[in-house]
Amino acid sequence: MTRTTEKRKYLYRQTKGDRVYVYFRHPRTKQLTALPDDETSQAFANAYDPLLAAASAKPDETPRTPDQLGRWKNPRDYTIDPKIVFRPGSIGWFIDRYKQSAKFLGFAAGTRSNYGFALDLLKKEFGTAFLHDVTPEHVDVYSARIARQKGGATADQQINLISNLWEFAKGFAEFKRKGKHCPTTGATRHYQHDGEGHLAWPEAVLECFDETANSYLVEFKTGLHYTGQRGSDVVTMRWSDYDGELINVVQQKTGERVWLHCPAPLRTMLDRMQKNPVHPEFIFTNKWKRPYVSAGTLSAALRHHLHSLGYREFSMHGLRKNAAMELALAGCEVGEIQSVLGHKSPKMAMFYCKAGGQEAVEPHCHG
């Protein structure tokens, strides 16, 4: 059976020598999927038709589970070549076993999801190396490359994962370390906190963003700024969480439920949006009027617009610093800032109090 190719959409062809390679290019993700060379064959139709149906289907708006949240990164960055074999004792081999361990499975679902991506990155980039052969020099070179490609925070997370795997691997005969010490000891760290990491947005940047960004990005920016929540919590906010004064959030990272006061600018915006919501369930949506799958896609959209304005040093996470410092300036104490932002320790809240001119006092329990 032959099929016409004239009206087929989303095909990408690449010529190498005398051969033409054909791919399906997803209209939203731009991911390429190899197809049979003969576009008139039934095999081609069998491969192409399901891809077209999936790309044309209305996106599923069912709320994501915690395991699905955070799965926003470019899948091509984390896809493992199935032809690669990870031999016993290799980093990839230990990653597979670590993911099945009681320790990993005991993490919160959101943590497993985020660690899963980080482990996949380590497995793809460094997985064939034997763990017992890794040296401090290897760690520094690898982490420096990841820092250049994906930022200092990701690089430091990779260092931490190597350290965790080293400890985990001690229970396996395949780990032939022969008394060697963990190679991450003394490793160069790449992410600098408190002013050199995620910077708070100055007033000029906030104003410029509001004047130039699409309305949906301005709405997200306002929600992030005035709630102080992580992007993963803002993208899942629902109209049922808002009562006109307060907004209810179950923070994904901590699992804590908090009621947040909505400052006047946020409350005014939400009241206006509520009169004619673009989505019946979710407060914030993307330009297609659908909720973001996760915070990473939102972060990329905000970063892209900031870069277009020439502000390359600012990020979505910096808006949490704006919120925290404004809470400190308003006289909030360490415990209040810690609760609102969902920090597990008071360290960062104490920093914001100092930035707000307060005397930062370590909170303690009262009997």
The two tokens of residue 218 are: 């301005």
Task: Please provide residue 320's backbone torsions phi and psi, each rounded to the nearest 5 degrees.
Answer: -65, -35
pLDDT value of residue 126: 92
C-alpha dihedral (30, 151, 95, 180), degrees to nearest 10 = 150
Q: Where is pLDDT greater, at 286 or 25?
A: 286
pLDDT value of residue 138: 95
The two tokens of residue 256 are: 């804590």
Other beta carbons within 10 Å of 19: 8
pLDDT value of residue 73: 45
Rounded mean pLDDT, 344-359: 55
Q: Evaluate if residue 182 carries a pLDDT over 90.
A: yes
Contacts of 207 (CB under 8 A, 6+ apart): none
Residue 325's alpha-carbon distances to 22, 29, 343, 348, in angstroms, are 53, 37, 14, 11
CA atoms of 154 and 140, how far apart (whole Å):
13
What is the tens place of the pLDDT at every residue in 217-268?
999 999 999 998 988 899 999 999 999 999 988 887 777 788 888 889 999 9
pTM of the complete model = 0.49
